[in-house]
Amino acid sequence: MQSLLFYFTMKFNDIEFSNGKNTQHSAPKKLLLLALSLVFLTIVPLYLLTTSRSPLPSPNVDISDLRNIGIVKECDIFSGKWIPYPNGPYYTDATCSLIIDQHNCMKFGRPDTEFMKWRWRPEKCELPFFNAKQFLELVRGKMMAFVGDSVGRNQMQSLLCLLSSVTHPEDISHRYTADTTYFKRWFYADYGFTLATLWSPFLVKSRDTDPNGHSLNSLMSLNLDQADEAWASQIENFDYVIISAGQWFFRPLIYYINGQIVGCHNCYMENITAVTMYYGYRMAFRTAFETLRRLKNYKGITFLRTFSPSHFENGAWNEGGNCIRTMPFTSEEMKFDGYYLEFYLTQVEELRKAQKEGRKGGLKFELLATTEAMLLRPDGHPNYYGRSPHSNVTVADCVHWCLPGPIDTWNEFLLYMMRKEAWRSFYEKLQKTIS
């Protein structure tokens, strides 16, 4: 397959380097390339179907449907429902040694297993199973970073386990930072692939402001017009960036722009204008996207992973709330509205602006709309069955997600979008070449 891809690349180059001259041989070359491309569009879907090493059986997918994923038909994979899948997950805590204690619900005695036996089904199409070999081929020689808070790292940990059926990476975090808890880098030598997580819960510059010191709900200040250098200074050479933020914006925050206070959320301070948390959320994503667009050497694809809902019941997180459900909600039981929808719409509005501006410079910004699916999964959190070095074990974790669990679907979404983007790029290049 790699040689086939190389062959087509060379054929593209043969024509592109002709400097637009209309020689007597150019028309036959273009016709030949078109014919070969049609063959390619048939062979690749067959390759993708037959090289799956997933522990799960392949769904019944028509080849024409697979081919259309990135070329003709657009399928909304983000709207659908959870259906029973008794075969279970791709991996377990016994087969993946890379699960950290915070997500390792089975290690710490979670008694039920049904939460691992559901699969997301889009309304009008099939979501392909995760194919680790295919993913690794797509990212061969490339770099991918998850930028955001610990839920972003949660997705990266899921990806590590999904890829473990093919190969294991080397932890190279210590080569780049002394803080190897919040800033991780893994290297897959067989594929020349680097996977990283860059801790930045607000995406913008932040600092502690509370006179009583830092705590889970202490006052902090955000410079909404300055990207956090913790990620911005390292991101330029990455090929894929998955960016996200969420739960930290609920805390008391003072907002600054151009070094001046412009408002605050839940700070209850005199002479400071009270604004909603959505204001800070919007501005943080706007600054993050603008930063990526302005980086001289950044040529990567940016994926916005949308707001990840928590599911505290019987009280707030600091008032004895927990998440003891063992089954998903139906869409009738849990509506996609309220602050979940407001957070989601705020993100998507800023993404659309970034897409419009990004096209001018050849940058691509894509959507990973996970909110609707995860809103229906109150059963997927660790609750009391996870351990973090910095957490109070008496506080239920209804924010992060068990591994294995429904968060593995995020990486099914990611692979689907990466495949679609690869098809789109190939097709666009094909059109330019034969036009």
Q: Residue 148: how many CB atoms within 10 A of its CB?
A: 28
**DSSP for residue 88:** -
Q: Residue 207: how many CB atoms within 10 A of its CB?
A: 11
Catalytic residue list: 150, 397, 400
Write down the pLDDT at residue 5. Answer: 47
As a whole number of angstroms, the distance between CA 277 and CA 279 comes to 5
Q: What is this structure's pTM?
A: 0.84
> Alpha carbon of 49 to those of 43, 57, 320: distances in Å?
10, 11, 48
Sheet hosting strand 193-199, strand order edge to edge: 170-171, 183-188, 193-199, 143-148, 240-243, 301-305, 364-368
Of 249, 143, 161, give the one whose Cα is nearest residue 197. 143
Residue type, 349: E
Write down the pLDDT at residue 353. Answer: 98
Write down the pLDDT at residue 415. Answer: 97
Per-residue pLDDT of the chain (435 residues), as tens digits, is 444 444 444 444 444 444 444 444 555 555 555 555 555 554 454 444 334 333 333 334 333 333 333 333 568 999 999 999 999 999 999 999 999 999 999 999 999 999 999 999 999 999 999 999 999 999 999 999 999 999 999 999 999 999 999 999 999 999 999 998 899 999 999 999 999 999 999 999 999 999 888 888 899 999 999 999 999 999 999 999 999 999 999 999 999 999 999 999 999 998 999 999 999 999 999 999 999 999 999 999 999 999 999 999 999 888 899 999 999 999 999 999 999 999 999 999 999 999 999 999 999 999 999 999 999 999 999 999 998 766 656 689 999 999 999 999 999 999 999 999 988 888 777 777 776
As a whole number of angstroms, the distance between CA 160 and CA 151 comes to 14
Write down the pLDDT at residue 189. Answer: 98
Burial group, residue 315, by CB count within 10 angstroms (0-12, 13-18, 19+): exposed
Q: Are 364 and 298 in contact (CB under 8 A)?
A: no
